[in-house]
Chain A
Amino acid sequence: MPEALLELDRLEVAYDGVPALRGLSLSVGRGEIVGLIGPNGAGKSTTLNAIMGLVPPRAGDIRFAGRSIKGRPPERVARAGIALVPEGRRIYPNLTVDENLRLGLAGRRGSGGDGVIESLRQLFPILDRYRKRPGGVLSGGEQQQLAIARALAAEPDLLLLDEPSLGLAPTVVDAVFERLAEIRERGVTTLLVEQRAQRTVAFADRTYALANGELRGIFGPADAGNTDKLVAAYFG
């Protein structure tokens, strides 16, 4: 496994005393695409929220590039090199597509933002076509592309994706995964949270299965066809 970029060490999170993560440990190596799957309420989004500093861990540690980032506020986590594509996309409906995209530069370290925006317009041509339109008028798939491009504008070391296919039509999901494949070509380290278990296992270098806040299994691409093993991880 390549050098670890992100490490969760026995991470525990609770909401009003109710445990949401129970001693979760996982790592994401530099350049890897790692999946995180599990049923509703498994703790997938909580994991991402804890990494981003949105929820305080009760115990354990979060290390990024060898340094603990536990307890840092979200903007400092973002400026350290981690970008999140949040669940539901969270596009600003009243800001233009260009303004939404430029907001991604807030988490950027260093200069050269204009060049990055231009290259993202090439990667996502729809964003070039609809530059001046309000983000709210884009379709769900187009908004998802905008949300991913906005996160990439920061040129993060680590990209966190929270259910990028949620609520999208199957053909649009295909398009989103095609974009993710192109992002993979760029060597961006990615932690992908998804409910589409088989597709994620086939796509990622390694996939962790969560249920009830606990780690239930680790899968490689070869396990994508092994339905029994996946079902056992979910319900076993």
Chain B
Amino acid sequence: MLQTAFNALALGSVYALMAVGIGLVFGVLRLVNFAYGQLIMAGAYTLAIGSEHSWPQWASVLACFGVVIGLSLLLEVGLFRPLRGASPATMLVATFAVAFLLQSIALLKFGSLVKTASIFPGLFDPVGHGQFETVRKITIVAIVAAMVALAALTLLLAKTTIGLHMRAAAADFRTARLLGVRANEVVTLAVVISGVLAAAVAVILVVEDPFVEPQFALRDTIIVLVGVVVGGLDRLWTATLGGFAIGVATSVFTDELSSAHSVYVDSFVFGLVIIVLLLRPEGLFAPFRARTVERA
């Protein structure tokens, strides 16, 4: 029971971080970045390469952040910026293309066999004895890392001028620009923060599952994308809660279903998603609005 609760909180936290990363970029660009999972994959491969070449662990982590942030900036300058103002469908298809491109590059470069990334192996040890023997240190680290990252982001958005500009740009980009808010500055910051979160997720996921292959984090990204839509993509906090909720649901189903039935985890999760969308199409956590009454 304790293990299930901690696992659920941990996966919910990781998915919440991914949801923030996706939600931030969506907020300022109205772009659903389907290639987000491949940024995490690139970070994971960097950790695996570091492991292969016996780099110090801090150097591997630093390189992971560098590669993911660099790729994010490359996407912004090479793709998002030229496509700014294009239709959401065009931008979505473009990120699909990037996702498959990055995945294919990984396949060509590293092959389909897994690479092992041994990073902070001590974090896989149990937290303690007795009841806590089944709870791993990485579970606690994931929860704490998510809380710290979300608190830092909340402070940035609430207390700084650039945070105010980002909130304004997310709500109404055109008016923000008319007021003098620098579009490129705000978008670049959102992309960089999104990249930092993707790198952090890559490190956490690699500690939990050190086997890196071209489809690394792909399933997680699809689940999180569904989660942010279920939560409500229009607001960052509802998207984050959506990511957290679907992470918790996935983890609970995974732990509670017997191993013979574990193949049905996704069926249960997406079945739940369909029910939620039928009952709350505007998003599970979107504010309730008074129903309008048609007048005769």
Does chain A bind chain B?
yes
Please, which residue of chain A has its CB at the minimum distance from the CB of B180? Answer: A107
Task: Determine which of A92, A94, A154 lies in contact with B180 in the assembled complex, contact meaning CB atoms within 8 Å.
Answer: A154
Task: Determine which of A74, A102, A105, A108 lies in contact with B178 in the assembled complex, contact meaning CB atoms within 8 Å.
Answer: A74
A contacts with B, residue count (CB < 8 A):
24
Is A103 in contact with B183, judged by CB distance below 8 angstroms?
no
B contacts with A, residue count (CB < 8 A):
17
Instruction: Report Cα–Cα, A104/B180, bound state, in Å.
Output: 8
Instruction: Report Cα–Cα, A16/B165, bound state, in Å.
Output: 32
Q: A79 at interface (Cβ–Cβ under 8 A)?
A: yes
Task: Determine which of A78, A86, A95, A108 lies in contact with B168 in the assembled complex, contact meaning CB atoms within 8 Å.
Answer: A95
A99: chain B residues within 8 A (beta carbon): 164, 167
A105: chain B residues within 8 A (beta carbon): 161
CB distance from A77 to the nearest CB of B (A): 8
Instruction: Report Cα–Cα, A73/B183, bound state, in Å.
Output: 9
Is B181 in contact with A92, judged by CB distance below 8 angstroms?
no
Please, which residue of chain A has its CB at the minimum distance from the CB of B171? Answer: A92
Is A52 in contact with B178, judged by CB distance below 8 angstroms?
yes
Task: Determine which of A54, A95, A106 lies in contact with B167 in the assembled complex, contact meaning CB atoms within 8 Å.
Answer: A95
Is A79 in contact with B174, judged by CB distance below 8 angstroms?
no
Instruction: Report Cα–Cα, A75/B183, bound state, in Å.
Output: 8
Q: B81 at interface (Cβ–Cβ under 8 A)?
A: no
Query: Which residue of A92, A95, A105 has the most chain B CB atoms within 10 A of its CB atom?
Result: A92
Assuming the A-B contacts A90-B172, A94-B171, A95-B171, are A103 and B177 also in contact, with contact meaning beta carbons closer than 8 angstroms in the complex? Answer: no
CB distance from B155 to the nearest CB of A (A): 15
Is A86 in contact with B164, judged by CB distance below 8 angstroms?
no
Contact with A along B160-196 (1 / 0, CB 8 A): 0100110110011011111111110000000000000
Instruction: Report Cα–Cα, A54/B167, bound state, in Å.
Output: 21
Interface of chain B: mostly helix, strand, loop or mixed: helix
Instruction: Report Cα–Cα, A94/B234, bound state, in Å.
Output: 13
CB distance from B183 to the nearest CB of A (A): 6
Please, which residue of chain A has its CB at the minimum distance from the CB of B164? Answer: A99
Contact with A along B202-219 (1 / 0, CB 8 A): 000000000000000000
Q: Which chain A residues numbered 106 to 154 have a C-beta less than 8 Å away from chain B?
A: 106-108, 150, 154
A28: chain B residues within 8 A (beta carbon): none
Q: A84 at interface (Cβ–Cβ under 8 A)?
A: yes
Please, which residue of chain A has its CB at the minimum distance from the CB of B235? Answer: A94
B181: chain A residues within 8 A (beta carbon): 75, 103, 106
Task: Determine which of A54, A73, A94, A107 lies in contact with B179 in the assembled complex, contact meaning CB atoms within 8 Å.
Answer: A107
Instruction: Report Cα–Cα, A86/B176, bound state, in Å.
Output: 12
B171: chain A residues within 8 A (beta carbon): 92, 94-95
B177: chain A residues within 8 A (beta carbon): 73-75, 78
Instruction: Report Cα–Cα, A54/B183, bound state, in Å.
Output: 13
Instruction: Report Cα–Cα, A104/B181, bound state, in Å.
Output: 9
B172: chain A residues within 8 A (beta carbon): 90, 92
Assuming the A-B contacts A54-B174, A74-B177, A90-B175, are A103 and B168 also in contact, with contact meaning beta carbons closer than 8 angstroms in the complex? Answer: yes
Is A78 in contact with B180, judged by CB distance below 8 angstroms?
yes
Instruction: Report Cα–Cα, A86/B165, bound state, in Å.
Output: 18
B174: chain A residues within 8 A (beta carbon): 54, 74
CB distance from A97 to the nearest CB of B (A): 13
Is B180 in contact with A79, judged by CB distance below 8 angstroms?
yes
A86: chain B residues within 8 A (beta carbon): 175, 178
CB distance from A76 to the nearest CB of B (A): 9
B176: chain A residues within 8 A (beta carbon): 103, 106
CB distance from B201 to the nearest CB of A (A): 28
CB distance from B100 to the nearest CB of A (A): 32
A94: chain B residues within 8 A (beta carbon): 171
CB distance from B86 to the nearest CB of A (A): 16
Instruction: Report Cα–Cα, A106/B173, bound state, in Å.
Output: 13
Is B179 in contact with A150, judged by CB distance below 8 angstroms?
yes
Q: Can you offer 11 A-B residue contacts whose CB atoms are under 8 A?
A: A52-B178, A78-B177, A78-B178, A78-B180, A79-B180, A95-B171, A99-B164, A99-B167, A103-B165, A103-B168, A150-B179
Given contacts A78-B177, A104-B179, could you give 20 more A-B pairs where the C-beta distance is less than 8 Å? Answer: A54-B178, A73-B183, A74-B174, A74-B178, A75-B180, A75-B181, A78-B179, A78-B180, A79-B180, A90-B178, A92-B175, A94-B171, A95-B171, A99-B167, A103-B168, A103-B181, A105-B161, A106-B180, A106-B182, A154-B180
Closest 6 CB pairs of A and B: A107-B180, A78-B180, A106-B180, A74-B177, A90-B175, A106-B181
Query: Interface of A with B (CB < 8 Å)?
Result: 52, 54, 73-75, 78-79, 83-84, 86, 90, 92, 94-95, 99, 102-108, 150, 154
